[in-house]
Amino acid sequence: MSDIIIATRDLSMSYGSKPAVRGLNLAVPRGSICGFLGRNGAGKTTTLKLLLGMLRRDAGDIRLFGEPMASEEAAIAARRRTAFVSEDKELYPFMTVSQMIRFTRPFFPTWRRDLEKKYLHLFRLPQEKPVPKLSKGMRTQLMLLLAMARGAELLIMDEPTSGLDPAVTEEIMEALADLVASDGTTIFFSSHQLAEVEQICDRVCLIDDGQAVIDGVLDELKSQYRRILLVFDGEAPKELAHFPGVDHVRRRGRTASLLAHADIDTVVDRTRQLGPRSVEVHPVTLKELFLDHVKGD
Amino acid sequence: MDLRINFSSGVPIYLQLMEQIKHAVDTGAIRGGEQLPTIRKIAEELTMNPNTVAKAYRELEREGVIDVRHGSGAYVAEPKTSSTKSAAIQKAAEALRQAIETGRTLGLSESELRRVFENEVSRLLDVATAARRRT
């Protein structure tokens, strides 16, 4: 039993001459909920498809459940233990909710009737309604139910809550928290909804331009990073950018804003030597981390 | 016990949870010997990650605020002579009163004094957490 469920090393893949993933290193431990963040086109969906064996990598390694994805057999064995909810959420249009569940059930020997019942109840899905008559939220919840009741150890989702109202999103978050608490399932999902990621994820991975720029435990990131706001009598000095531990510096006239992630005390001491009028240290939100780490236009 | 978490703040969620449970103990909302909700219950009620709740409980146990008994759950630790705590609070209040007086004679307003206080507290706590992390 490996404790790292998803591990990639120097994972790379290009569409023709256009690189989509460039040396990506990821590590998602068992039982965690990891939010996969990044701008549109940063390489999120490509990464998910590589993990699921839907695309072939050009270079690098993927390990799932500790096993290298070196052969087709290994990839198939890993996929048996993995459930996936895609972005487009396609279901057979001629089936009702209960027919869809009955149709899916026999494919999976590990099917969990208890989870099926629990999520049917939690999501209040109308069992006799045909799939095309379901709202978008209910369709997503049905897809999620089918994925979660499979009894998979790893659940991968591509933007599961995009375009859903807050009430449906909350129900989905509740189901995910419950699944992790009861079964220790590992969940890895891409999202643009920073609020939901902050609420439910214990880990985040932020990718930009095909590379991981942040990967870690969310609470630890919040403990590490600080925003340091400085006001000077004259123009903010240029030396600020070269301090070790400082990720970004924004200078605007007499003020400067630093994002730092290590040795905050040392950074503060060094900035004090430049003679600022005031120094303030603030915690950093996930949104600030996101905006400071993805490249601007 | 009424727990409220601000997920979008920069303060780590497990620390927010720890503070609120400590506050509940300080105010007597939960008392020594009483059982705390299970990790799963809190995760469900607040719709948050159970690993984060577990982390808060581990830290609270380490600080001696709660006792985790395997198989039966987490309990609020019996208070260790609360009189020493209130004496400590009185002593700290006295020192703060003097600092506030000094600030006022220097002409600082109430909001300025509050800001100084907040800044110093967060600065000192940052240093303390950083030091803890290093050990």
Complete DSSP assignment for B58-102: HHHHHTTSEEEETTTEEEEPPPS-HHHHHHHHHHHHHHHHHHHHH
Are A86 and A158 within 8 A, CB to CB? yes
Contacts of A288 in chain B (CB under 8 A): 10
Contacts of A222 in chain B (CB under 8 A): 10-13
Mean pLDDT for chain B? Answer: 85
Contacts of A114 by beta carbon, 8 Å cutoff, 6+ apart: none
Please determine, for residue B126, whether its predicted confidence score (pLDDT) is greater than 70: no
Residue A33 in tokens = 């909920």
Q: What is the torsion angle, in degrees rounded to the nearest 10, for the CA atoms of residue A142, residue A148, residue A151 and residue A157?
A: 120
Q: How many angstroms away from the CA of A204 is the closest CA of chain B?
A: 13
Which helix (H) or strand (E) is A266 found in, with range? Answer: helix A264-272
Indicate the range of A18-32, A64-78, A241-255, B13-27 predicted with least confidence: A241-255
Please determine, for residue A269, whether its predicted confidence score (pLDDT) is greater than 50: yes
Euclidean distance between CA atoms A205 and A185, whole angstroms: 18
CB contact under 8 A, B126 and A265: yes
pLDDT of residue B2: 83
pLDDT of residue B95: 87
Residue A263's pLDDT band, with cuts at 50, 70 and 90, is confident
Euclidean distance between CA atoms A261 and B126, whole angstroms: 13
CB contact under 8 A, B10 and A281: no
Please determine, for residue A239, whether its predicted confidence score (pLDDT) is greater than 50: yes
Put simply, whether B25 touches A (Cβ < 8 Å) is no
Residue A297's pLDDT band, with cuts at 50, 70 and 90, is very low
Per-residue pLDDT of A107-139, as tens digits, reads: 999 999 999 999 999 999 999 999 999 999 999
The percent of residues in chain A predicted with pLDDT above 90, rounded, is 77
- Report the half-sphere exposure of A290 (CA within 13 A, side-chain side): 21
Please determine, for residue B83, whether its predicted confidence score (pLDDT) is greater than 60: no
Contacts of B7 in chain A (CB under 8 A): 195, 198-199
pLDDT mean over A279-293: 90
Q: State the count of interchain CB pairs (< 8 A) between A and B.
A: 82
CB contact under 8 A, B52 and A281: no
Residue B98 in tokens = 């003097």
pLDDT mean over A246-273: 89
**Residue A22 backbone dihedrals phi, psi, to 5 degrees:** -125, 90
pLDDT mean over A2-12: 93
Query: Is residue A250 classed as helix, strand or coil in its secondary structure?
Result: strand
- Please classify residue A110 by burial: count the beta carbons closer than 10 Å to its beta carbon, then call 0-12 exposed, 13-18 middle and 19+ buried: exposed
Tell me, what's the ipTM?
0.83
Per-residue pLDDT of A43-89, as tens digits, reads: 999 999 999 999 999 999 999 999 999 999 999 999 999 999 988 77
Look at strands A226-231 and A255-260 and give their pairing. antiparallel
CB contact under 8 A, A222 and B129: no
pLDDT of residue B85: 66
Put simply, whether B76 touches A (Cβ < 8 Å) is no
Residue A237 in tokens = 């000095």
Q: Identify residue A196 by its one-letter amino acid code.
A: E
CB contact under 8 A, B40 and A281: no
pLDDT mean over B123-130: 68
Contacts of B15 in chain A (CB under 8 A): 219
Which helix (H) or strand (E) is A21 found in, with range? Answer: strand A18-29
